Structures are given as structure tokens and as C-alpha cells.
Amino acid sequence: MRIEIWADVVCPWAYIGKRRLDKALAGWDGEPVELVWRPFRIDPTAPVPATSHEGSTEDELLRDLGILGDRDDAEAAQACAVGPAATVPQTPPIAEIAAAEGLGSTWGAAWRASSHDAHRLLALAHRHGGAELQHPLAEAVMKAHFIEGRDISLAETLGQLAADAGFPEAAALLADGAADQQVKELLLIGKARGVATSPTLVVGDRALSGAQSPETVTRFLRDAAGQPHRRLPAEVERLRYADALLDKRDPLGALTLLQPLLTEHGDEPSVQLLAARGYFASAQLGRAAAVLEELVAHAPDDSYARLLLGRTLTRQGRTEEAAVHLALAAAMTPEYAT
């Protein structure tokens, strides 16, 4: 059973959630488990290494997120939360909760650090050593951030943590930009799958949001283990994720996920139509029109392609051409006339 841990390594609840997951797995007697860490960003605006030492302390960051202080910012608080309904300041203080989970009496990140490169490191760790390397390295990264006061946005920090974990080649890979695109795509996939809280455990089609208790995690895993987990072909999954991003009004994200499919399967009508929707929604009207004209030429009875082509041509000011396609679309599918 694969457990995906969608989390941000600079989210305190992710570290607490990891410890609670470890406790649940220590007593797990079900089917073998594979752990995979996936990226999530609670603070995409965190400064890059050049300016990270001008950032905030952990308490200031948590206050910005609505977890501490007087702000009533439910959406921000839920991005890094103890549970799906965590929309108010937590009690007791998070340092006490961390201490109760065995994370020591000293708690507090020194820097408001960008976690992008740390996510790259974890992606590379899984690629090179699987869960046996990635899971302990996630622990080391979060310990460095929350307990040791180190800046995990710095290349030298990540390189040393990787070397200590038995992954010395990581520093050179990070310097070469390895896994950058992979992390960006995974962030989009998480968004497409509806991941909105760090941490979120995902098994198949089931998800558990927040740093839940070991007992709750165990119940979740037992329920998930009893369900069939059918893995779709990678191309089909990518197409579905791109479609979901369009529904979430992220056409540029959808086009990013579609790019490999356009390269390898660019003549597939389903891929072309999804790309055309992305181009239309992102106001790339010339590209949308070109793809849709090709689709209509090969499938004259595709009423939706004609409708979208008509709307695209209308936005381009080509009203006479648009009228022909809009009329045909309405004739084939009457509801398109409205």
C-alpha cells in the first residue's frame, strides 16, 4: 500500500504529523507500506536563499498563516493545520504539542525559508533510494529547520543533510537543477487532486488532512487498505489532472502538465481538445484557433470543438467565420444555442 505524504517541510504540523504517522506505522500489522513524500507549499512567497536571512521567525510565520495571533484567516490556517477544521489559533501552543511528540523542548525555525529546493532534494532522494532514503531525509530536513535553526533554503545545508543521510551526490544534482520540473509538476498534480492542507495523507482515492492522531491515522489506513487501488496508465492520469486544473481555473498549470502529452501524443484528439481549452482560457487565441481548426477538419461532427472554435474566433473579432461554427454547433447540440 502506497501512502503519499503531501506536506511542506516548513509546516510545523507536517513534522508533528510525520511523528504521529511513524507511531501509527510502528504498530501496523496490515499489508506492507510504501511511503512517498510529495511537495506542498504553504508559503510560495518565502524568500530565496539570497534574502532568506531577512525573513521571519517561526512564530511570525505562523501568525502570518493565521495559526497564531489575532488574524481570522481560515484559508491560510488550513494550509498548515492540525486537522481539516483548524481555522482558529491552536491550544496548547505548538511548541508544547511538538514536545509531546518527542521533538524536544527547543522549537522554532530561525528563518522563513523557501522550501522549493528541499522538495527537490526529497524528490531526488526517492528517485535514487526510495522510501528508505527519502523518509529519514525528510526527518533530517525538518529537524534542521525546526530544532537546529538551520536555513534549509541554502544549497550547502541541503547538501550536508543529504551527505549525512548517505546521498553525497545530491549536492551536484541540486546545483544542476535536477528535479526542478518534477517538483513543479507534482505541485500542480497535488492541486488537481484537491490537496489543500499540509500534511495530507493519500492512499488511492482516499485522503486524510491534517496532523491527526496515531489512532486516527491507523483507522484511515485500515479503511484504505480494504479498498481496491487501481492504477491508471500515467498518460491517462496526466490527462485527468490537466482537466481538473482547467476546472480549477488554472489553464497555465493544465498546459504545463499537458506538455509531455503534446510532445508524445499531440495527434490524439483528447489531448488536442484539452490543449485548446487551455489556450482559450489563457487567452492564447491564435494557438487555440489553430488546434480547433485542425480538430474540426478531422471531426466535422464534433459539436463542442465547433462551439469552442466559434467562441475563439469571436474573441479574435472574426465574427463572420465564428457564426458558421456556432450555428453548426447549435444545430448538432441544441443547448449550445444559448
* Secondary structure (DSSP) of 48-110: PGGGGGGS--HHHHHHHTTSSSS---HHHHHHB-SSTT--S--SS-HHHHHHHTTS-S----S
Among candidate residues 225, 243, 263, the one where a domain is terminated: 225
Q: Is the Cβ–Cβ distance between 57 and 109 less than 8 Å?
A: yes
For residues 279 and 152, membership in a common domain is answered with no
pLDDT of residue 231: 81
Pure H helices in 111-250: 116-146, 155-164, 170-175, 180-192, 214-225, 234-247
Longest pairwise C-alpha distance within the chain: 72
Q: Is the Cβ–Cβ distance between 39 and 187 less than 8 Å?
A: yes
For residues 51 and 145, membership in a common domain is answered with yes
For residues 221 and 278, membership in a common domain is answered with no
pLDDT digits (tens, 9 = 90+) for 163-191: 999 999 999 999 999 999 999 999 999 99
How many CB atoms are closer than 10 A to CB 29? 6
Q: How many CA atoms lie within 13 A of 208 on its CB side?
A: 25
* pTM of the predicted protein model: 0.88
Please return the burial class of 155, using the count of CB atoms within 10 Å of its CB with bins 0-12, 13-18 and 19+. middle
33 phi and psi, to 5 degrees? -115, 140
pLDDT of residue 78: 60
Q: Is the Cβ–Cβ distance between 254 and 245 less than 8 Å?
A: yes
Q: Which helix (H) or strand (E) holds 208?
A: strand 206-209
For residues 12 and 160, membership in a common domain is answered with yes
pLDDT digits (tens, 9 = 90+) for 72-104: 334 445 688 765 444 444 456 888 899 999 998
pLDDT of residue 82: 63
Separation CA 270–CA 256 (nearest Å)? 16
We report the CATH number of the domain holding residue 304 as 1.25.40.10
Residue numbers of the chain with a pLDDT score lower than 70: 48-78, 82-92
For residues 104 and 27, membership in a common domain is answered with yes
| Helix, strand, or coil (residue 203) | strand
Sign of CA dihedral 4, 6, 9, 11: negative
Sign of CA dihedral 205, 260, 124, 171: negative
Edge-first strand order for the sheet with 206-209 is 34-39, 2-7, 200-203, 206-209
We report the CATH number of the domain holding residue 164 as 3.40.30.10
pLDDT of residue 203: 96
Nearest alpha carbon to residue 121 among 165, 154, 156, 170: 170
Name the β-bridge partners of 2. Answer: 34
For residues 239 and 272, membership in a common domain is answered with yes
Separation CA 202–CA 188 (nearest Å)? 15
For residues 155 and 249, membership in a common domain is answered with no
Total structural domains in the chain?
A: 2
Give residue 255's domain range.
234-337
Per-residue buried b or exposed e for 53-81, using 16+ beta carbons within 10 Å of the residue's own CB: eebbebbebbbbbbbbeeeeeeebbbbbb
For residues 218 and 238, membership in a common domain is answered with no
Show the CA angle centred on residue 99, arms to residues 52 and 139, nearest 5°.
55
For residues 265 and 123, membership in a common domain is answered with no
Please return the burial class of 264, using the count of CB atoms within 10 Å of its CB with bins 0-12, 13-18 and 19+. exposed
For residues 86 and 111, membership in a common domain is answered with yes
pLDDT of residue 49: 64
Strands 200-203 and 2-7: antiparallel
pLDDT of residue 65: 41
For residues 18 and 153, membership in a common domain is answered with yes
pLDDT of residue 107: 83
For residues 41 and 74, membership in a common domain is answered with yes
Among candidate residues 225, 260, 291, the one where a domain is terminated: 225
